[in-house]
């Protein structure tokens, strides 16, 4: 376990709260401190830490890998920051993109042409973990002259089909 300033601060807060709670049960200071020292790690690691992981939207970020992209499409959101910030795909052709990402999942609709736009490929990135997340992330690769010029990230509401 890595001891960080946030860990120390949270442990101190939990210790104070547990100490105050134990003081309501027994007024002896030495017993309250002893019980608080024993209960603080238990309360922190089995109550506060899991709660923070459920409520926060933190997730691990990974470098792009074509193999992981195709094998685990639900975890693509972990790679998208690397793809966007390092411009991994800017300048790649449609053939190179298809070789790395596979066939597009859907094409964007062009209202002017009243048809799908072959220059806007969309891929789903999966669901970012979190307790109150009601959207899924997606990315659009925009082509001009058969080369990627831009990427657009967007979210869509999760829609469940009726059974």
State yes or no: pLDDT of 28 exceeds 80: yes
Q: What is the average pLDDT score of the chain?
A: 86
Domain range summary for the chain, segments of one domain joined by +: 5-55, 66-157
**Could you give the percent of the chain with pLDDT greater than 70?**
97
- Topology, domain 66-157: Beta-lactamase Inhibitory Protein; Chain:B, domain 1 (3.30.1450)
User: What are the CB-based long-range contacts (under 8 Å, 24+) for 53-59?
Assistant: 54/130, 54/131, 55/130, 55/131, 55/132, 56/130, 57/128, 57/129, 57/130, 57/133, 59/128, 59/129
Rounded CA-CA distance 160/123 in Å is 18
Q: Which residues contact 56 (CB under 8 A, 6 or more apart)?
A: 130
State yes or no: pLDDT of 52 exceeds 80: no
State yes or no: pLDDT of 163 exceeds 60: no
Q: Give the three-class secondary structure for 130.
A: coil
Task: Please give the pLDDT value at position 1.
Answer: 64
């Amino acid at each position: 376990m890595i001891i960080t300033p946030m860990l120390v601060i949270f442990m101190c807060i939990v210790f104070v709260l547990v100490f105050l709670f134990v003081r309501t049960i027994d007024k002896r200071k030495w017993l309250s401190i002893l019980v608080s020292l024993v209960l603080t790690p238990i309360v922190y690691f089995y109550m506060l830490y899991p709660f923070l992981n459920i409520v926060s939207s933190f997730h691990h970020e990974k470098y792009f890998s074509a193999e992981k992209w195709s094998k685990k499409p639900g975890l693509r959101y972990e790679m998208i920051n690397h793809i966007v910030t390092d411009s991994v795909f800017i300048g790649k052709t449609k053939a190179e993109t298809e070789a790395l990402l596979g066939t597009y999942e859907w094409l964007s609709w062009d209202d002017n042409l009243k048809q799908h736009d072959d220059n806007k490929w969309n891929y789903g990135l999966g669901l970012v973990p979190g307790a109150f997340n009601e959207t899924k992330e997606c990315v659009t690769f925009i082509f001009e002259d058969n080369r990627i010029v831009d990427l657009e990230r967007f979210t869509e509401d999760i829609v469940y089909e009726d059974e």
